[in-house]
């Protein structure tokens, strides 16, 4: 309980006040503006943009503007990825110019399309190069810079403590550590105790990440890692309220806005769908929303007939999708998994 109470306390990150210590992880293709606004409304302490490729941002590629634009939330945090110091610095300047309060550097993404370009967690193979990127970003902006990393590339190179210590010396104001190596991807169980070695190596805040889905797990990861905050990622699939629920429980309250009735769940899912259509436009929005609709179905209506699911996932007319969604999510409460949250 002591650990949970700690999660409700504010956290200072380079002079930026974060309202509590339960964060929404940056997830590519997921934590867009519509999703972040929901997570924040439910009480997440900090929400982070999708990863933005610094090279594409610096070159003005289409779509990057949606990822970095300010959504009106109290703290706007943008995550950048890349391997070129010039592009990382320019991307940071652009993001700061769009109102970013914090710039996060991605040194943890395990995806082959990212590491194949020597970005993400591949940077942990060359700490000298990784530090050159950190130094370039810190020098380019006045806002706090943070880094998200893994334990290392593989079990033979668990160098997160070294990277974190050198990052702090370069001016980084917070580090987040996912308790797996890159070669583990998301297999096995995250090693929360290993994060403690990073906490021991630095004096800046450390955020523990990996396999946190509930209040109980948040308490244990804090105990085992000694971290200052927790970051929750995949547990949000079909439930944007999970981080907020954990934070609310830590403060002895309940997260607001979680649907508790079939009608409320239907309204919630439809509203999220409509917000994504407004964000991306009809054609792109239809495609972007499907993964979220699939997660809502999996989490809250797992017994839905295959024909109904297929119709929702393939319909090309928004009005038809909404009608189908309302039919599925407005059924008898006994057929739905309501309030599926931490």
According to DSSP H, which parts of the chain are helical? Answer: 2-7, 33-42, 54-58, 64-68, 85-97, 112-115, 127-140, 160-169, 192-201, 215-225, 242-250, 262-280, 282-300, 306-314, 318-329
Buried b (16+ CB within 10 A) or exposed e, 8-36: beebebbebebbbbbbbbbbbebbbbbbb
Neighbours of 131 (CB within 10 A): 17
Distance CA 15, CA 280 (A): 33
Distance CA 50, CA 57 (A): 13
Distance CA 124, CA 130 (A): 7
Active site residue 109: yes
Residue appearing with tokens 């972007």: 288
Q: Which residues are catalytic?
A: 109
């Amino acid at each position: 309980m002591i650990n949970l109470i700690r999660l409700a306390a504010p956290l200072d990150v380079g002079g930026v006040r974060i309202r509590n210590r339960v964060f929404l992880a940056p997830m590519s293709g997921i934590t867009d503006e519509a999703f972040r606004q929901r997570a924040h409304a439910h009480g997440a302490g900090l929400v982070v943009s999708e990863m933005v490729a610094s090279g594409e941002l610096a070159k003005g590629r289409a779509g990057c503007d949606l990822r970095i634009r300010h959504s009106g939330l109290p703290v706007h945090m943008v995550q950048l990825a890349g391997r070129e110091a010039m592009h990382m610095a320019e991307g940071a300047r652009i993001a700061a110019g769009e109102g970013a309060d914090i710039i996060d550097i991605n040194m943890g993404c395990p995806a082959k399309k990212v590491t194949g370009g020597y970005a993400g967690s591949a940077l942990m193979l060359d700490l000298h190069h990784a530090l050159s990127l950190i130094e370039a970003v810190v020098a380019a902006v006045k806002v706090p810079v943070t880094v998200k990393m893994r334990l290392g590339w593989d079990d033979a190179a668990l160098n997160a403590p070294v990277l974190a210590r050198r990052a702090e010396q370069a001016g980084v104001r917070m580090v987040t550590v996912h308790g797996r190596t890159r070669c583990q991807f998301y297999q096995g169980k995250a090693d929360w105790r290993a994060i403690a070695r990073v906490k021991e190596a630095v004096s800046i805040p450390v955020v523990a990440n990996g396999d946190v889905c509930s209040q109980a797990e948040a308490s244990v990861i804090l105990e085992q890692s000694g971290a200052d905050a927790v970051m929750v990622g995949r547990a949000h699939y079909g439930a944007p309220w999970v981080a907020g629920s954990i934070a609310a429980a830590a403060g002895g309250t309940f997260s607001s806005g979680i649907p508790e009735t079939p009608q409320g769940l239907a309204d919630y899912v439809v509203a999220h769908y409509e917000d994504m259509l407004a964000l991306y436009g009809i054609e792109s929005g239809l495609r972007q929303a499907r993964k979220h609709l699939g997660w809502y179905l999996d989490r809250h209506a797992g017994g839905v007939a295959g024909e109904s699911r297929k119709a929702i996932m393939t319909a090309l007319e928004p009005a038809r999708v909404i009608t189908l969604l309302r039919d599925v999510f407005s059924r008898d409460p006994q057929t739905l998994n309501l309030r599926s949250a931490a």
